[in-house]
Amino acid sequence: MNYFVYNNTTVKKIFDFPLFDQGKYSKYHHVITMILTILIIIMFSKLNNLYWFIRYTRIKSVRRKYYRYVAAEKKRLIESGVDEEELRLLCRYLSNLKNEQAGDRLEAYRKTLKTCRSSSVT
């Protein structure tokens, strides 16, 4: 089984539940997808905060400090089972919110993840 750790609590990955293996529960798929989205937002909120400090800090030593925090957070997320490519695209977008291409690529990648997950579920 795949597990991820959030706030010192071990949580089973949502897509490992037997609920997805049974076709009779397909009507609950949108609820489970919404729960997964909320978990992703919670997991990435610390990164959002750290990149905000990086974007608005002028002092180089403080920026380096926050980049070290980001590296530690990325390492923790990868070890907990977050998709590495999604994390890379998210960090690229968070480093410069004006970069529309980065945001578009992140959304496109998330859409492909949704289609892959939904096709593996059914």
59-87: burial string, b at 16+ Cβ within 10 Å, e else: eeeeeeebeebbeebbeebeebebeeebb
pLDDT level of residue 40 (50, 70, 90 thresholds): low
- Count of domains in the chain? 1
Which residues have a Cβ under 8 Å from the Cβ of 90 and sit 6 or more positions away?
44, 47, 106
Print the domain residue range for 33.
3-121
Cα–Cα distance for residue pair 107/8, rounded to 1 Å: 29
- Residue 19 pLDDT greater than 80, yes or no: no
Phi, psi of 53 (to 5 degrees): -65, -40
Lowest mean pLDDT among 16-20, 28-32, 62-66, 107-111: 16-20
- Residue 95 pLDDT greater than 80, yes or no: yes
- The predicted-structure confidence for 100-112, as pLDDT tens digits, reads as follows 999 999 999 988 9
Output the average pLDDT for the chain: 77
User: If you average pLDDT over residues 2-22, what whole number do you get?
Assistant: 46
- Residue 89 pLDDT greater than 60, yes or no: yes
pLDDT level of residue 2 (50, 70, 90 thresholds): very low
Which residues have a Cβ under 8 Å from the Cβ of 62 and sit 6 or more positions away?
53
